[in-house]
Amino acid sequence: KNQVEQSPQSLIILEGKNCTLQCNYTVSPFSNLRWYKQDTGRGPVSLTIMTFSENTKSNGRYTATLDADTKQSSLHITASQLSDSASYICVVSVQTGANNLFFGTGTRLTVIP
Amino acid sequence: EAQVTQNPRYLITVTGKKLTVTCSQNMNHEYMSWYRQDPGLGLRQIYYSMNVEVTDKGDVPEGYKVSRKEKRNFPLILESPSPNQTSLYFCASSPGHPTYNEQFFGPGTRLTVL
């Protein structure tokens, strides 16, 4: 069964600290994996996309990693800011089928001063 | 500004009263989609459209209708809303299939059905 699981469900960290969010998937055959950021009351916005051959990709203070062998991805946030408070959603695509996007339920991150 | 717009942003209605949520994009995207987002369930696709006059069911299409008469518009229709359709709805568009293309999401429509 194709599934995407994210952990933790929620996380509270102090401003300036680093954190890592996890995404494990059982999706097959794998095409790519995206991380989205969703601010409260807004639609999701893409942070990064990773394909099978990519291990690491950075977007400013956000760094995503992918281990296609263990089917795990992580999103590392460095020197967190209050504006990082949001939900982070992992979305995995498969290569076949019309409905081939699988969404995680997200990690709710709260950065406190 | 390139964007996806939805209207209304907030709606409270009663069971059985037909409603339409509009979605419009100004990026000339071919692919458009509707999602609902519920706590603990994440985003689930309702309907999608590969191009004008081409629509298909997503994972949770029951109780919804869509149409794609123009490339820029993709309205979501609830013919007879029920309380279990209370949810946060997002419209999204992408240049092609979202497997290989970034989806751009609208701001969301929070619907409450009493």
Residue A28: its pLDDT value, please?
A: 84
Contact A2, A63 (CB under 8 A): no
Whether residues B44 and A98 touch (CB distance < 8 A) is answered with no
Candidate from B4, B42, B102 with C-beta closest to A103 = B42
pLDDT score of B24 more than 80: yes
First vs last C-alpha separation in chain A: 41
Residue B9: its pLDDT value, please?
A: 96
Contact B64, B58 (CB under 8 A): no
Contact B13, B19 (CB under 8 A): yes
From chain B, pick out residues whose CB is under 8 angstroms from the CB of A105: 40-42
The helix, strand and coil proportions of chain B, stated in percent and rounded to the nearest 5, come to 5, 50, 45
Looking from the CA of B74 toward its CB, the CA atoms found within 13 Å total 32
Confidence of residue B79 (pLDDT cuts 50, 70, 90): very high
C-alpha–C-alpha distance, residues B44 and A63, integer Å: 26
User: Which tokens belong to A52?
Assistant: 């099978």
Confidence of residue A83 (pLDDT cuts 50, 70, 90): very high
Distance from CA of B6 to the nearest CA of A (A): 11
Share of chain A above pLDDT 90, in %: 81
Number of Cβ within 10 Å of residue B61's Cβ equals 16
Candidate from A32, A41, A105 with C-beta closest to B40 = A105
Candidate from A44, A94, A99 with C-beta closest to B45 = A99
Residue A92: its pLDDT value, please?
A: 94
Contact A102, A25 (CB under 8 A): yes
Structure confidence by residue, pLDDT tens digits, B30-75: 999 999 999 888 899 999 999 999 999 999 999 999 999 999 999 9
C-alpha–C-alpha distance, residues B49 and B61, integer Å: 13
Residue A98: its pLDDT value, please?
A: 63
Candidate from B58, B99, B106 with C-beta closest to A31 = B99
In chain B, residues 68-97 whose CB comes closer than 8 Å to chain A: 90, 92
pLDDT score of A99 more than 80: no
Q: Does B42 touch chain A (CB under 8 A)?
A: yes
Residue B108: its pLDDT value, please?
A: 97
Which candidate in B43, B50, B97 is best for mutational testing of the A interface (most A CBs within 10 A)?
B43
A67: Cα separation from own chain's centroid? 13
Nearest residue in A to B58, CA atom: A99
Nearest residue in A to B43, CA atom: A103
From chain A, pick out residues whose CB is under 8 angstroms from the CB of B100: 31-32, 93
3-class secondary structure per residue, chain A: CCCEEEECCEEEEECCCCEEEEEEECCCCEEEEEEEEECCCCCCEEEEEEECCCCEEEECCEEEEEECCCCEEEEEECCCCHHHCEEEEEEEEECCCCCCEEECCCEEEEEEC
C-alpha–C-alpha distance, residues B109 and B88, integer Å: 6
Q: What average pLDDT does the structure give for chain B?
A: 95
